[in-house]
Amino acid sequence: MPTAYRHLYIVTGASRGLGRAIAEYLLQPGHVVLGISRQAPPAPPGLEQWACDLGEPLPVAARLQAWLEGLDGEQFAGAALINNAALLIEPRPLREADAAALSASVRVGLEAPLLLTAAFLCATRHWVADKRVLHISSGLGRRAMAAQGPYCAVKAALDHLARAQALEEALLANGAKVVSLAPGIIDTDMQVQLRGADPSAFPDHDAFVQMKAGGRLDSPAVAAAKVVTFLRRADFGQQPVADVRDA
Domain ranges of the chain: 3-185+221-242
Residue 1 has pLDDT above 50, yes or no: no
Mind listing the pLDDT tens digit for each residue in 192-245?
Answer: 999 999 999 999 999 999 999 999 999 999 999 999 999 999 999 999 999 999
Residue 43 has pLDDT above 80, yes or no: no
pLDDT value at position 46? 85
Confidence class for position 5, pLDDT limits 50, 70, 90: low
pLDDT value at position 38? 92
pLDDT value at position 83? 98
Instruction: Provide mean pLDDT across the span 56-71.
Output: 98
CATH homologous superfamily for the domain 3-185+221-242:
NAD(P)-binding Rossmann-like Domain (3.40.50.720)
pTM over 0.75: yes
Instruction: Provide mean pLDDT across the span 40-63.
Output: 92
One-letter-per-residue 3-state SS of the chain: CCHHHEEEEEEECCCCHHHHHHHHHHCCCCEEEEEEECCCCCCCCCEEEEECCCCCHHHHHHHHHHHHHCCCHHHEEEEEEEECCCCCCCCCCHHHCCHHHHHHHHHHHHHHHHHHHHHHHHHCCCCCCEEEEEEECCHHHCCCCCCCHHHHHHHHHHHHHHHHHHHHHHCCCCCCEEEEEECCCECCHHHHHHHCCCCCCCCCHHHHHHHHHCCCCECHHHHHHHHHHHHCCCCCCCCCEEEHHHC
Instruction: Provide mean pLDDT across the span 41-46.
Output: 80
Residue 2 has pLDDT above 70, yes or no: no
Mind listing the pLDDT tens digit for each residue in 73-131?
Answer: 999 999 999 999 999 999 999 999 999 999 999 999 999 999 999 999 999 999 999 99
Mind listing the pLDDT tens digit for each residue in 149-158?
Answer: 999 999 999 9
